[in-house]
Homo-oligomer: A and B are copies of this chain.
Amino acid sequence: MARAATTSDVFNAVAEPRRREVIDLLAGGERSVGELVSALGTPQPQVSKHLRVLLEVELVSVRREGRHRLYRLEGQGLKQIHDWVGAFAPLWQERLDALDAVVQQLKTEEEGVSSDE
């Protein structure tokens, strides 16, 4: 089998860089497809297709406003990712702490020796 469908889950949906860009843009508020197209510099059909995927995993919602379609970011879907990845926070935190320790160590050594620059 090939990779799982992008519409299967949120992780897959945001795996595509262009879609993350769309999400970034929508973070600023509702946007019409046309606005997204100009902002992204991507052909309109592609943008529409990415929006469709985001819509299917419910990362965005739409409403009509005259001839325009205003897409809106629905952040809750991202919470799932945040929760999963957040569980591992202690791991990189640990690393950062370890780095701090090393830096401190170097600093102390430097003060003590201060031989070569």
Contact = CB atoms under 8 A, between A and B. Distances in A.
A82 to B, nearest CB: 5
Contacts of A22: none
A3 B16 contact: yes
A94 B87 CA distance: 22
Interface residues of A, number: 32
The quantity of this chain's copies bound in the complex is 2
A78 B83 CA distance: 12
Interface string A1-19: 0011010010110111100
Contacts of A6: 3
Nearest to A17: B4
Contacts of A16: 3-4
Contacts of A62: none
B4 A3 contact: no
